[in-house]
């Protein structure tokens, strides 16, 4: 089977200097016109947005491009669409291409939605009669019946997204290039886009999708290419590639969290007075997790340790047994001591609370050192970065309340969605009402 898209050793360079970029482009164009075969090294302010990228797609293939911002995903998509010329390598595309890279790009804001439909269709070789035959279908899918005669310049971004997507999918493309379009528009329209993309996929349309959503990638694409700083990190089945990419992100985040926890502990031990900047940071950022009281004038020598298998850690796998050990010393006497462990997502959603109020576990302690250990046999929060906040209070008054740890939860080899990851066992009915277990993670 002949590939419909073939990318061979493609590289693309850009300059970090906006003023120099145009001059470099003219010089490179001159070299290309006069047939210079010499490979020039990168200039001092240049970088490779794409470096030696090779892949091919057969008719009906679906590929996701994943990676961090600035990794080269959109650059590769634009190169496939012919919007930019690679500095090295060759891209061959066979068939009719529709690109959804910048929604609304190519639309004339002074013309009505209907006129823009005719313009877009004519660029794909459609006659006015052929466009008229599919016009109602385009308008109906875009849900713009009331506004199709209004200038596109008056449309919201969501309306432009609907019109752009509807035009693209109804012009019978052989290849569809999509850049984050599924993050635009309301939920109902996004669902409709998913359904139509699945229909196009079954009809044999080849598409390349740029997305930051693991769910979109796995649901829509068989293959995925992970790019990092312009280089190919992994090309393979979508689920395996997404898992490798998320593991990479977890590793980076875990290192950041480890360094942050060390800094937090060093600062707490030094008892240095906070700067204005630090105070502002706590006020703006850590207030996501509630009020902060960290003066340590009522307690001292606070230490909190997270461990798995008796080893201190800043990274936990889903369904690990997590132990939390903490100690502190009371300054003065108390009569109604309680300690709470509150787990938050990094963006401030409280996920769970463990409190000594359940059972009045610390009522007998009135002074001196407090030493406790908490064991969570099945830590089932979904992968992500979490914050542990520790309020220590006497009755309704805080003795202390602050973030004591940040930590990362990593997947246990299976993809996870949602906020928690239940342990479960599937049974699938068979003839005679028999059942068999299908999956039992954890």
For every one of its 442 residues, what pLDDT tens digit does the chain have, with 9 covering 90 and above? Answer: 789 999 999 999 888 776 666 666 677 766 666 666 566 677 777 889 999 999 999 999 999 999 999 999 999 999 999 988 898 899 999 988 988 877 666 789 999 999 999 998 998 889 999 999 999 999 999 899 999 999 999 998 888 888 988 898 898 889 999 887 666 667 778 888 888 888 998 999 999 999 888 888 988 899 999 999 999 999 999 999 998 998 898 888 888 888 877 776 666 655 544 443 444 444 444 568 888 887 778 899 999 999 999 999 999 999 999 999 999 999 999 999 999 999 999 888 999 999 998 888 998 999 999 999 999 999 999 888 999 999 999 988 899 999 999 999 988 767 777 788 887 788 887 655 544 444 444 4
Q: How many helices (H) and strands (E) does the chain have?
A: 9, 20
Q: Let me know: does 141 contact 185? Beta carbons within 8 Å.
A: no
Nearest to 119 by CA among 102, 131, 103, 134: 131
Distant-in-sequence, close-in-space partners of 251: CB < 8 Å, separation ≥ 6: none
Torsion of CA 161, 164, 165, 166, to 10 degrees: 120
What percent of the residues of the chain are helix, what percent strand, and what percent coil, each to the nearest 5? 30, 35, 35
| Residue 274 CA neighbour count, 13 Å, CB half | 14
Q: Under a CB-based contact definition with an 8 Å cutoff, are residues 13 and 49 in contact?
A: yes
Contacts of 429 (CB under 8 A, 6+ apart): 435
What SS3 state is found at 46? strand
Residue 55 in tokens:
């892949």
- Report yes or no: 144 and 185 within 8 Å, Cβ to Cβ: no
Sequence-separated (6 or more) residues with CB below 8 Å from residue 428: 435, 436, 438
- Structural domains in the chain plus CATH codes: 59-86+95-246 (3.40.50.300), 296-413+420-429 (2.70.50.60)
d(CA 345, CA 406): 10
Q: Give me 364's structure tokens.
A: 């007998």
> Can you give the pLDDT at residue 21?
64
Which H helix or E strand runs over 253?
helix 238-270
Contact between residue 169 and residue 196 where contact means Cβ atoms under 8 Å apart: yes
Task: Give the integer Cα–Cα distance in Å for 186 and 27.
Answer: 45
- What does the pLDDT read at residue 441? 46
56: helix, strand or coil: strand
pLDDT of residue 322: 96
Angle at CA 287, nearest 5°, toward 281 and 288?
115
Residues 418 and 381: beta-carbon distance below 8 Å: no
The 8-class DSSP code of residue 344 comes to E
Joined together, the tokens standing for residue 340 give 């709470």
**What local confidence, expressed as pLDDT, does residue 32 receive?**
67
- What are the residues whose beta carbons fall under 8 Å from the beta carbon of 32, sequence distance 6 or more? none
In whole angstroms, give the CA distance from residue 323 to residue 331.
Answer: 26
Q: How many Å apart are CA 423 and CA 395, to the nearest integer?
A: 37
pTM of the model as a whole = 0.74
Rounded to a whole number of angstroms, the CA Rg of the chain reads 28
């Amino acid at each position: 089977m002949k590939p419909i898209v073939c990318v061979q050793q493609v590289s693309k360079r850009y300059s970090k200097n906006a003023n120099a970029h145009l001059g470099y482009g003219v010089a490179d164009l001159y070299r290309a016109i006069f047939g210079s075969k010499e490979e020039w090294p990168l200039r001092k302010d240049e970088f490779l947005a794409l470096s030696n990228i090779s892949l091919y797609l057969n008719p009906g293939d679906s590929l996701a491009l994943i990676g961090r911002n600035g990794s080269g995903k959109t650059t590769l998509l634009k190169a496939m669409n012919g919007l930019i010329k690679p500095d090295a390598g060759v891209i061959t595309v066979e068939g009719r291409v529709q690109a959804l890279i910048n929604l609304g790009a190519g639309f004339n804001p002074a013309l009505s939605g209907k006129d823009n439909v005719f313009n877009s269709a004519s660029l794909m070789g459609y006659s006015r009669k052929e466009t008229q035959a599919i016009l109602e279908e385009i308008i109906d899918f875009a849900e713009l019946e009331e506004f199709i005669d209004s200038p596109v310049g008056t449309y919201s971004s969501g309306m432009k997204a609907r019109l752009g997507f509807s035009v693209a999918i109804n012009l019978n493309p052989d290849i569809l290039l999509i850049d984050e379009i599924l993050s635009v528009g309301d939920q109902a329209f996004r669902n409709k886009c998913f359904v139509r993309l699945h229909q196009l996929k079954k009809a044999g349309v080849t598409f390349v999708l740029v997305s930051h959503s693991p769910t979109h990638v796995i649901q829509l694409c068989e293959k995925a290419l992970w790019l990092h700083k312009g280089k190919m990190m992994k090309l393979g089945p979508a689920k395996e590639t997404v898992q490798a990419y998320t593991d990479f992100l977890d590793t980076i985040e875990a290192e950041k969290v480890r360094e942050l926890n060390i800094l937090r502990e060093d600062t707490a031990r030094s008892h240095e007075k906070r700067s204005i900047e630090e105070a502002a940071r706590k006020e703006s950022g850590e207030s996501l997790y509630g009020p902060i009281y960290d003066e340590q004038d009522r307690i001292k020598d606070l230490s909190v340790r997270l461990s798995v298998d008796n080893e201190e850690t800043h990274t936990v796998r889903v369904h690990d047994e997590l132990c939390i050990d903490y100690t502190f010393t009371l300054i003065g006497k108390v009569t109604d001591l309680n300690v709470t462990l509150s787990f938050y997502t990094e963006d401030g959603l409280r996920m769970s609370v463990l409190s000594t109020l359940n059972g009045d576990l610390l009522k007998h302690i009135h002074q001196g050192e407090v030493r406790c250990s908490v064991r969570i046999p099945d830590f089932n929060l979904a992968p992500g970065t979490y914050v542990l906040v520790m309020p220590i209070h006497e009755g309704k008054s805080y003795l202390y309340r602050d973030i004591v740890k940040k930590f990362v939860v990593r997947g246990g080899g299976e993809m996870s969605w949602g906020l928690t990851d239940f342990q479960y066992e599937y049974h699938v009915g068979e003839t005679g009402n028999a059942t068999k277990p299908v999956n039992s993670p954890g």
